[in-house]
Structure 1
């Protein structure tokens, strides 16, 4: 048993020794492994540190990168902010300029308002009863009649009336007095006022019968007074264009149709005297300007020139030119317009003047062989065209004034046309419808060539024309009646002016009257 134990012990020792040997053989390997492990572990530590360092670096780089991105974004934002700031600055400057301009305009308007307010206050100071409502009458006393006629008719000067006043204001004031007498239902007062008014107009036109401006002024006012008597008569035919307020202003108690007839007759007499005054002024200019004055050398489509002041010598008529006639016509026209003459009356007056110009020129042509030439025919036609242009400039084509020049126009054509063959004779007969046979033959016989290019009209040609005209039924007289007067027509033209708004100008010196 002991030996077994010894054997087991020995066996165990041998195993232990073997294991020791084995382990000793493994020690270097373990040491080597351990050193490698330790080396790896050290490297791992280095790697971990490096990783941590790299991580820190990476974080720093990321931080820098984010910072750069933020910087770039901020630059863009700042750039946009600068642009927007610049735009807003410019816009603000524009708005400030506009605001300044509006401030200046407001200041200017405020100044104007102050000025107008002061003007209105001054005007109101002169019109203490401005709030009073008027009914379009003027109160007067019977003993005031003479002063009214003296101040409003006899002493009134046209040039002191026409500026800044409604046309026919004296006539309207007279009618407002008529309304007052009618309102009082005083027949004697009304009759007396109408009589002194008509007598006053008769007196003023008689005293100034050669004064064109006075005749024009009182023709216009007589016409307006007549129209007021019609417009406010209460007769239906004259009330069609009235406003309701104007119809309220109609006469209530009296029929003044008899006075209307008297005024109408007076207006006709004034008109014809007015025509005579104009004719007397323009007549000396007609033959020198239309017939004698030579402007053909300068014809270039322009209006004639060469107006010279008239000499004191009566015989020195050659100083008048076509321009003299046109200037005189324009003076007549502007004066009639300033005095508010009705357009239809104005047209009739111009028509009468054009008839006179044509008739006097044609009569002079019949009497003067030296004027019966082709060249003179051209001159007359040229002058007629100036008159036609004047009508057009004044918008008077509808006056029929141009038609009154037709005989003269045909005579001018006859002087220029060829006068040799049968066809020429036929054309003359067909064209010269406004000339009588006697007048055509007279011009043909008087035709006088002024150079070698023209030929005298042969007696056989004249007889040929005369034979063709035998069947014509026309007047036997040669000369035109220069005193002929067209019948005047006074159209009814209602006044648009409200009587209740009409004020009496202080220059009329009628302060003793009272608006009602």
Structure 2
């Protein structure tokens, strides 16, 4: 009886243990089923989200196409198809790369297996395969990085256009730009243009370039009295103009390009009209810069060139009969001395160099500035009788020699700036020249850059500073007038035109920089608005 009870109890325990095992197995299966359902649910939700997004895009396209003309509908449809096919091609290209890599791995595995199978070195085979796989991953990463850099483009969303240009143009500080690659803002702008050319979005590039032009105009107008800011955007506007030409695809602008640079030309758009607009914009900025420079040096010109007496003891007593007007010396008016004028010129050169303004354009800038300087000095001399004497002529010539030497020191002697000073230089020489009938021809030849009224005015104003000199005889002045009538196309103006300006040109200056090597630094604050292609 006891044996039967024990056996029954044993059967009951076994049944209970079996039931528990079954319950645990069922619970595990339920958990696995639940995980599979959750994974499927997430997958289905993602597909539903993607389908909704695609459906919205299609609805937007349909609504947009209903409001367009037939030609516009065709263009919009083509643009949509191009974008879709481009995306699909990129996906397929990535898939092909993955499959090619997998095939390479399998071939490598097959070769290693065949080589080592006889020796039974399975562990070595696996280790070698892992090493090859690690190298393969590294090589693939390098290839992808190189391909990404090769594009040399910056992609941005249309809604980010305003924020992008604001950060790049309006908010860019000259001190920050001076520490970056020269012309970097221009290169960034061009990389954005290349991306729109790549996707063939004509409306996007038109909006981008128009907004760029307006943005540069606005920043120059707002900071027209800021030498650094105006110079910064003169340099970048010219660089952007040169870059549009360099990558336009025109043979005349490709002669100095490297093979890699020639691969980056704009393939969809002809931006010749925008080149003209940016050229006009560069002229406008150039004129703003010239006005700013002229306003900076204008208070110093007369004191530095006419009044400044660098040769001590040369000037004697004041001529008799003149109203009391003391000569100004450098130590009397240090803010308007020749040194002050030189400091202003040095500042101009420093800023122009700092922002990498084209050397040919720098020459034109100083040619114009030197014209204003010489014209202002001559006009002042023609109105001041006390300055028209032999000793003052020598002082003026000495002061001007400093200006000429400055050009040589800064390698600007071939800029034409020195020739812009010829009228005031010849006026100082006329004050020092002998004025007798025997010197008639030499005086006329010496004053080739002065007009007849200017020569006659200086001779009439000439006043001796001591008893050993004489006034210029009226007969000599009349003979000069008669002699100068032989000149062709004689200019009869007395004062020089201070508003005269030479024609400015922007000679094409290609860059050796390859756009694919350019990285966008954090200082521009546009990294969140653009992505590399």
TM-score by length of 2: 0.68
1:204 counterpart = 2:219:
yes
- What's the Cα RMSD here? 1.9
Q: 1:220-259 counterparts in 2 under 5 A?
A: 220-259=235-274
CA distance in 2, matches of 1:233, 1:175: 11
Partner of residue 174 from structure 1, selected from 179, 184, 189: 189
CA distance in 1, matches of 2:334, 2:188: 48
Residue in 2 that maps onto 1:144: 160
Q: 1:68-79 counterparts in 2 under 5 A?
A: none
CA distance in 1, matches of 2:145, 2:338: 54
Q: 1:473-492 counterparts in 2 under 5 A?
A: 473=488, 474-492=490-508
Give the match's secondary structure for 1:177. helix
Q: What's the CA shift for 1:455?
A: 1.7
Q: What's the CA shift for 1:467?
A: 2.0
Contact 2:310 2:398 in 1 (8 A): no
Residue in 2 that maps onto 1:507: 523
TM-score by length of 1: 0.70
CA distance in 1, matches of 2:212, 2:187: 13
Deviates more, 1:390-399 or 1:431-440: 431-440
Q: 1:316-355 counterparts in 2 under 5 A?
A: 319-355=335-371
Number of corresponding residues? 375
For structure 2, the residue ranges without an aligned partner over 5 or more in a row are 1-141, 315-328
Give per-residue Cα distances to partners, 1:368-413, cap 9 Å, x unaligned. Answer: 0011011111011111110111000100111011111111111111
For structure 1, the residue ranges without an aligned partner over 5 or more in a row are 1-126, 300-305, 309-315
CA distance in 1, matches of 2:170, 2:521: 16
Q: How has the CA–CA distance of structure 1 residues 298 and 176 changed in structure 2, closer, same or farther, with 3 Å as cutoff?
A: farther
Contact 1:288 1:318 in 2 (8 A): no
Residue in 2 that maps onto 1:15: none
CA distance in 2, matches of 1:515, 1:282: 45
CA distance in 2, matches of 1:463, 1:392: 39
Give the match's secondary structure for 1:139. strand
Residue in 1 that maps onto 2:412: 396
CA distance in 1, matches of 2:178, 2:169: 14
Q: What's the CA shift for 1:457?
A: 1.1
Q: 1:380-395 counterparts in 2 under 5 A?
A: 380-395=396-411
CA distance in 2, matches of 1:150, 1:298: 59
Contact 1:284 1:317 in 2 (8 A): no
CA distance in 2, matches of 1:481, 1:437: 16
Q: 1:76-155 counterparts in 2 under 5 A?
A: 133-134=148-149, 135-155=151-171
1:265 counterpart = 2:280:
yes
CA distance in 1, matches of 2:512, 2:313: 48
Give per-residue Cα distances to partners, 1:46-104, cap 9 Å, x unaligned. Answer: xxxxxxxxxxxxxxxxxxxxxxxxxxxxxxxxxxxxxxxxxxxxxxxxxxxxxxxxxxx
Partner of residue 452 from structure 1, selected from 467, 490, 493: 467
Partner of residue 192 from structure 1, selected from 174, 184, 207: 207
Partner of residue 371 from structure 1, selected from 384, 387, 395: 387
1:464 counterpart = 2:488:
no
Give per-residue Cα distances to partners, 1:174-214, cap 9 Å, x unaligned. Answer: 00000001101111111111111111111111111121111
Residue in 1 that maps onto 2:305: 290
Contact 1:289 1:325 in 2 (8 A): yes
Contact 2:334 2:340 in 1 (8 A): no
Give per-residue Cα distances to partners, 1:270-302, cap 9 Å, x unaligned. Answer: 111111111111111101110012111089xxx
Contact 1:293 1:318 in 2 (8 A): no
CA distance in 2, matches of 1:130, 1:284: 57
Give the match's secondary structure for 2:163. helix
Residue in 2 that maps onto 1:409: 425
CA distance in 2, matches of 1:298, 1:237: 61
Deviates more, 1:321-330 or 1:479-488: 321-330
Q: What's the CA shift for 1:318?
A: 7.2
Partner of residue 234 from structure 2, selected from 196, 200, 219: 219
CA distance in 2, matches of 1:423, 1:200: 64
Q: What's the CA shift for 1:166?
A: 2.1
CA distance in 2, matches of 1:298, 1:375: 10
1:431 counterpart = 2:446:
yes
Give the match's secondary structure for 2:500. coil
Give per-residue Cα distances to partners, 1:107-159, cap 9 Å, x unaligned. Answer: xxxxxxxxxxxxxxxxxxxx9x9666412111111111111111000000111
CA distance in 2, matches of 1:319, 1:371: 21
CA distance in 1, matches of 2:421, 2:236: 31
Contact 2:148 2:532 in 1 (8 A): no
Residue in 2 that maps onto 1:358: 374
CA distance in 1, matches of 2:456, 2:285: 40
Residue in 2 that maps onto 1:42: none
Contact 1:307 1:324 in 2 (8 A): no
Give the match's secondary structure for 1:227. helix
